[in-house]
Structure 1
Amino acid sequence: MKTMTCKQLGGACEKEFNANTFDEIGEMSKAHAMEMFQRGDKPHLKAMNEMSELMKSPNAMNAWFNKKRKEFDALPDEQ
């Protein structure tokens, strides 16, 4: 089990996500982002706009995902 925060994943807060795989943590982050979007949370909306700009370039998006996956993989397993 590893932990990353919303902010580490490109978001706007310190909410922690705990998962065994990067894909799992990505799904948790995505669900959190949707919740914050529905609430109209301004800091998260700003982070989402920045992410949508990144998504315009497939190469930049892939590089971002690879970097975050490496960060996740480098984290120590929590017992």
Structure 2
Amino acid sequence: MMKTMTCRQLGGACDKAFQAATFDEIAQLSKTHGTEMFKKGDAAHLEAMQAMSELMKSPDKMKAWFEAKKREFETLPDHL
């Protein structure tokens, strides 16, 4: 079964939907999308990336954020 999260739910700047069976897969899809947006110089995504880079300066805060997103993923309804 698959679950869906958006770029915005994962700290990004748009409503692009990612579908995957695991949170790790969702995270990889989000990372790939972020890389594409970075290469395009998308201002909204660059701003979101800056906010995430601030979060990453604190390993404890980053871990807490990651765990919260993983729990959110796990509570999402499954779909085909």
TM range, smaller chain: over 0.9
- CA deviations on 1:34-78 (whole Å, 9 max, x unpaired) are 000000000000000000000000000000000000000000110
Gaps of 5+ in 1: none
Cα RMSD, aligned residues only: 0.4
Q: Corresponding residue for 1:42?
A: 43
What fraction of aligned residue pairs are identical, expressed as a percent? 63
Once the two structures are superposed, the pairs formed by residues 29-68 of structure 1 within 5 Å of their partners are: 29-68=30-69
Q: Which residue of 2 is the match for residue 6 of structure 1?
A: 7
Structure 2, unaligned stretches of length 5 or more?
none
- TM-score normalised per structure 1: 0.99
Q: Output the TM-score relative to the length of structure 2.
A: 0.98
Q: What is the aligned length?
A: 79
- 4+ aligned runs moved over 2 Å, structure 1: none
SS in structure 2 at match of 1:28: helix
